[in-house]
């Protein structure tokens, strides 16, 4: 639209064309106000019934809520208007009328349940609160990219249609690929590892992962966004350093550049950038601390996976982001390297928010023979992964990396109850459309 002025940019004295949605009509009798909303905010349009052209006033008054309108006019100062200015219109056009029955109320005055909101996401995202989540999400992705670039990592994109899964098994979505069975990739793990042996050496990827999680939970999606990092000549501690820096960079960027969005979400005052180093607890310390909280009926012993209630109890106890390191090898995937001199102890780590796991990572097994053994120990057929294992015979450096759940980062950062709030169109057990 030629010469369109955003609501937030309308200055007194200017002649403007504003365009957006009818947020509200306030009819006070002799005078009425049409509130027009665009992506930058709202602006008041004054309708004086006796003084202005009848047709103009009627067009304004008859416009249904959420219709798309264009208004030409002069901007005047008006201290009583929400933004301190108002438009005195010379022309109003209804570009796209909205039906009067709306599936949800974008003004937010009438609340809607999450399923209704997700069914009508377009309308839902006309609300400041819902929109703020995605403005922040965009800023997080920008900041994360910039942080990776500052670490000299190269952004890559790896295939999402694959012949074999990363960890085999149950979480794979099968598809038909020209008559053959294929799968949606559950992680870029193997591809990003192959890149550390290439001339690129240090890489990151932000892309979809697909997991056929059987159950609906507030923190699992069937299609999620994974933020992955992998570097040649890194050990697990160096990978953790980068992980911590990237997460802090995301918080800092939001703190600096998303004040209005944090206000819209009602968390501007309590929003905190994590300060200081994330504590690094060993798995052994973690289970001792969980046991000491008394949150579990049965005491955890070495080799147990951490149950969700255990994670919660520990998270409450620690009270900030933290790492869990030195896991038992048997509960970490085959591609994670063991500590030198102790095959039972893995270099795998998780990075936790007090509410949940955000990251899994570790140093990787780069020795061909040991890698093949790992496949066999985990009951996987190494031949199915030959495209991957083969490259470990041609000069694969030691390397380490991690994967961070993008939606979990946003969810915990903004204290959202449900991970679906952080995805435009979530995929879960019940939801395949829109």
Helix (H) or strand (E) holding 87: strand 85-96
Helices 283-293 & 308-318 angle (0-180, nearest 10): 90
Separation between Cα atoms, residue 257 and residue 332, nearest integer Å = 38
- Exactly one of 65, 70, 145, 220 is catalytic; which is it? 220
- Exactly one of 244, 321, 360, 366 is catalytic; which is it? 360
- Which residue has the CB atom at the shortest distance from Mg ion? 360
Closer CB to Mg ion, 5 or 185, in the complex: 185
Encoding tokens for residue 129? Answer: 């609160």
Beta strands across the sheet bearing 356-363:
154-155, 202-210, 223-232, 399-405, 356-363, 349-353, 322-325, 280-282
- Exactly one of 126, 137, 219, 399 is catalytic; which is it? 219
Encoding tokens for residue 45? Answer: 């349009």
Is 55 part of the annotated catalytic residue set? Answer: no
Separation between Cα atoms, residue 110 and residue 98, nearest integer Å = 18
Give the strand pairing for 15-27 and 68-77.
Answer: antiparallel
Q: How many CB atoms lie within 10 A of CB 115?
A: 11
Closer CB to Mg ion, 44 or 187, in the complex: 187
Give the strand pairing for 280-282 and 322-325.
Answer: parallel
Number of H helices, E strands in the chain: 12, 18
Closer CB to ligand ATP, 11 or 415, in the complex: 415
Tell me the closest approach of the beta carbon of residue 305 to ligand ATP, in angstroms: 8
Closer CB to Mg ion, 273 or 331, in the complex: 331
Q: Which of 158, 164, 189, 360 binds Mg ion (CB under 5 A)?
A: 360
Tell me the closest approach of the beta carbon of residue 221 to Mg ion, in angstroms: 14
Tell me the closest approach of the beta carbon of residue 432 to ligand ATP, in angstroms: 15
3 state SS of 75: strand
Separation between Cα atoms, residue 300 and residue 304, nearest integer Å = 6
Closer CB to ligand ATP, 89 or 310, in the complex: 310
Query: Which residues here bind ligand ATP, judged by CB under 6 A?
Result: 211, 213, 220-221, 224, 226, 357-360, 403, 405, 407-408
Give per-residue burial for 191-212: e unless 16+ CB within 10 Å, then b. Answer: bbbbbbbeebbbbbbbbebbbe
Is 213 part of the annotated catalytic residue set? Answer: yes
Tell me the closest approach of the beta carbon of residue 213 to ligand ATP, in angstroms: 5
- Exactly one of 126, 353, 408, 427 is catalytic; which is it? 408
Is 360 part of the annotated catalytic residue set? Answer: yes
Phi/psi for 110 (5° steps) reads -105, 115
- Exactly one of 167, 213, 285, 320 is catalytic; which is it? 213
Helix (H) or strand (E) holding 189: helix 189-196
Binding partner selected for residue 226 from ligand ATP, Mg ion, none, CB under the kind-specific 5 to 8 Å limit: ligand ATP
Encoding tokens for residue 26? Answer: 């306030």
Stretch near Mg ion under the rule CB under 5 A, chosen from 191-199, 201-209, 290-298, 360-368: 360-368
3 state SS of 175: strand
Closer CB to ligand ATP, 42 or 420, in the complex: 420
3 state SS of 4: strand
Q: Is-contact 246 404, C-beta < 8 A?
A: yes
Is 58 part of the annotated catalytic residue set? Answer: no
Closer CB to ligand ATP, 211 or 364, in the complex: 211
Binding partner selected for residue 190 from Mg ion, ligand ATP, none, CB under the kind-specific 5 to 8 Å limit: none
Binding partner selected for residue 420 from Mg ion, ligand ATP, none, CB under the kind-specific 5 to 8 Å limit: none
Binding partner selected for residue 221 from ligand ATP, Mg ion, none, CB under the kind-specific 5 to 8 Å limit: ligand ATP
Tell me the closest approach of the beta carbon of residue 410 to Mg ion, in angstroms: 18
- Which residue has the CB atom at the shortest distance from ligand ATP? 405
Q: Is-contact 155 147, C-beta < 8 A?
A: no
Tell me the closest approach of the beta carbon of residue 331 to Mg ion, in angstroms: 10
Q: Is-contact 85 76, C-beta < 8 A?
A: yes
Tell me the closest approach of the beta carbon of residue 121 to ligand ATP, in angstroms: 18
Stretch near Mg ion under the rule CB under 5 A, chosen from 287-295, 311-319, 333-341, 358-366: 358-366
Is 357 part of the annotated catalytic residue set? Answer: yes
Closer CB to ligand ATP, 45 or 249, in the complex: 249
Tell me the closest approach of the beta carbon of residue 221 to ligand ATP, in angstroms: 4
Known catalytic residues are 211, 213, 219-220, 357, 360, 408
Q: Which residues bind Mg ion (CB under 5 A)?
A: 360
């Amino acid at each position: 639209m030629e010469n369109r002025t955003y609501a937030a940019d309308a200055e007194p004295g200017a002649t403007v064309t504003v365009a957006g949605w009818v947020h509200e009509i306030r009819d006070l009798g002799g005078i009425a106000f049409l509130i027009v909303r665009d992506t930058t905010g709202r602006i008041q349009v004054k309708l004086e019934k006796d003084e202005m052209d009848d047709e103009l006033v009627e067009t304004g008054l008859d416009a249904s809520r959420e219709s798309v309108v264009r208004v030409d006019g002069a901007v005047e100062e008006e201290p009583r208007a929400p933004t301190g200015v108002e438009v005195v219109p010379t022309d109003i056009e209804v570009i796209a009328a909205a039906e009067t029955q709306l599936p949800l109320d974008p003004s937010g005055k009438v609340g809607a349940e999450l399923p209704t909101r997700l069914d009508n996401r377009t309308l839902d995202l006309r609300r400041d609160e819902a929109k703020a989540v995605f403005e922040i999400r965009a800023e997080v992705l920008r900041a994360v990219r910039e942080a990776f670039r500052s670490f000299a990592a190269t952004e890559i994109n790896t295939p999402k249609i694959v012949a074999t899964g990363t960890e085999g098994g149950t979480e794979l979505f099968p598809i038909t690929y020209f008559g053959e069975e294929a799968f949606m990739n559950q992680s870029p793990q193997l591809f990003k590892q192959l890149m550390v042996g290439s001339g690129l050496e240090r890489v990151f990827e932000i892309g979809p992962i697909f997991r056929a999680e059987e159950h609906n939970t507030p923190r699992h999606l069937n299609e999620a966004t994974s933020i992955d990092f992998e570097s040649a000549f890194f050990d697990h501690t160096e990978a953790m350093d980068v992980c911590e820096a990237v997460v802090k960079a995301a918080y800092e960027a939001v703190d600096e550049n998303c004040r209005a969005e944090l206000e819209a979400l009602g968390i501007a005052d309590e929003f905190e950038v994590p300060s200081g180093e994330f504590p690094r607890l060993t798995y052994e310390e973690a289970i001792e601390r969980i046991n000491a909280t008394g949150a579990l009926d049965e005491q955890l012993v070495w080799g147990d996976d951490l149950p969700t209630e255990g994670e919660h109890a520990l998270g409450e106890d620690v009270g900030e982001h933290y790492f869990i390191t030195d896991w038992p090898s048997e509960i970490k995937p085959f591609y994670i390297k063991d500590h030198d001199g102790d095959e039972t102890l893995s270099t795998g780590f998780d990075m936790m928010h007090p509410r949940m796991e955000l990251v899994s990572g570790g140093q990787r097994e780069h020795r061909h023979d040991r890698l093949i053994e790992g496949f066999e120990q985990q009951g996987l057929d190494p031949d199915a992964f030959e495209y991957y294992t083969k490259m470990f015979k041609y000069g694969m450096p030691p390397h380490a990396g991690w994967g961070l759940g993008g939606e979990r980062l946003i969810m915990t950062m903004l204290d959202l109850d449900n991970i679906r709030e952080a995805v435009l169109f979530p995929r879960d057990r019940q939801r395949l459309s829109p």
